[in-house]
Structure 1
Amino acid sequence: MATFTNTALGQLTHVQGFEDMKVSNLIDPTTHKWDQNLLHGLFTPHEAELIASIPLCLNKVEDVVVWAFAPSGCYTIKSGSKFLAAEQFRSQQPSLTPNDNGLWRMIWGLSIPNKVHNFLWKACQNAILVKYNLQWQHILIEDTCELRKMEVEDIYHALWGCNQLSQIWDSVPSLSFSQSKTFPSIREMLTFTYEEQKNVELMASIMWTIWHRRNQVRTSSKDYLLSQVIHTASQALATFHDSISSASK
Structure 2
Amino acid sequence: MCESKLLGGLGFRHLHLFNLAMLAKQLWRIWSYPEKLLSRVLKARYFPRSDVFSASLGTRPSFTWRSVMAAQSLFRKGCRWRVGTGEHIRAWDDPWLPRPRSFKPITPAPVVPANLFVADLVTPDGLDWDVVRVRELFWPEDSEVILGLPLSRTREPDLLVWHYSKNGRFSVRSAYHLACLLDDRPGSSSLGEHESSWWRKVWQSKIPNKIKVFVWRACLNALPTSANLHRRIQGFQAGCPLCCAEKEDVMHVLALCPFARQAWGLSSFRSSSLGLDSQELSLFFCFCWALWWCRNRKLMEGECVNPAQVSPFASHYLAAFLTQSAGAATRCASPIPSRWQAPPSPFIKLNFDGATPGDGEMAESIAVREAVNLALRKGWRSVVFEGDCATLILKLQSPMKDCSFTGTIVADVLNLASVFSSCRFSLVKRSANAVAHFFAKCAVDFVEGDHIVPPAAVPLLQLDSMME
TM-score normalised by length of structure 1: 0.54
Residue 145 (structure 1) aligned with residue 164 (structure 2):
no
% identity of equivalent residues: 26
Instruction: Name the amino acid aligned to 2:291.
Output: I
Change (3 A) 1:221 1:132: closer
Instruction: Name the amino acid aligned to 1:248.
Output: A
Residue 47 (structure 1) aligned with residue 66 (structure 2):
yes
Q: What residue is the counterpart of 1:242 in the other structure?
A: 323
Give, in angstroms, the shift of residue 43 of structure 1: 3.3
Give, in angstroms, the shift of residue 248 of structure 1: 1.9
Residue in structure 2 matching 1:136, options 210, 222, 231 = 231
Change (3 A) 1:105 1:139: farther
Residue 108 (structure 1) aligned with residue 127 (structure 2):
no
Q: What residue is the counterpart of 1:228 in the other structure?
A: 309
Q: Deviations over 1:96-129 (max 9, x none)?
A: 7335211110101111000000000010011001
Q: What residue is the counterpart of 2:267 in the other structure?
A: 172
Give, in angstroms, the shift of residue 166 of structure 1: 2.0
Q: What are the residue-to-residue correspondences of 1:1-249 with 2, within 5 Å?
A: 41-43=60-62, 45-47=64-66, 97-98=191-192, 99-173=194-268, 175-177=269-271, 193-194=275-276, 199-249=280-330
Change (3 A) 1:153 1:198: farther
Q: Deviations over 1:63-103 (max 9, x none)?
A: xxxxxxxxxxxxxxxxxxxxxxxxxxxxxxxx773352111
CA contact (8 A) 1:168 1:229 kept: yes
Give, in angstroms, the shift of residue 209 of structure 1: 1.2
Matched residue pairs, number?
158
Instruction: Name the amino acid aligned to 1:128.
Output: L
Instruction: Name the amino acid aligned to 2:287.
Output: I
Give, in angstroms, the shift of residue 41 of structure 1: 4.5
CA contact (8 A) 2:266 2:308 kept: no
CA contact (8 A) 2:263 2:307 kept: yes
Change (3 A) 1:151 1:44: closer
Instruction: Name the amino acid aligned to 2:301.
Output: S
SS in 2 for 1:42: coil
CA contact (8 A) 2:211 2:285 kept: yes
CA contact (8 A) 1:108 1:117 kept: yes
Change (3 A) 1:140 1:103: farther
Q: Give, in whole Å, the separation in 2 of the partners of 1:140 and 1:234.
A: 38
CA contact (8 A) 1:144 1:152 kept: yes
Instruction: Name the amino acid aligned to 1:162.
Output: C
Q: Give, in whole Å, the separation in 2 of the partners of 1:235 and 1:217.
A: 21
Give, in angstroms, the shift of residue 138 of structure 1: 2.8
Q: What residue is the counterpart of 1:187 in the other structure?
A: none
Q: Give, in whole Å, the separation in 2 of the partners of 1:225 and 1:128.
A: 23
Give, in angstroms, the shift of residue 228 of structure 1: 2.1
Instruction: Name the amino acid aligned to 1:143.
Output: A
TM-score normalised by length of structure 2: 0.30
Runs of 4+ displaced beyond 4 Å: 6-10, 48-51
CA contact (8 A) 1:131 1:140 kept: no
Give, in angstroms, the shift of residue 140 of structure 1: 4.7
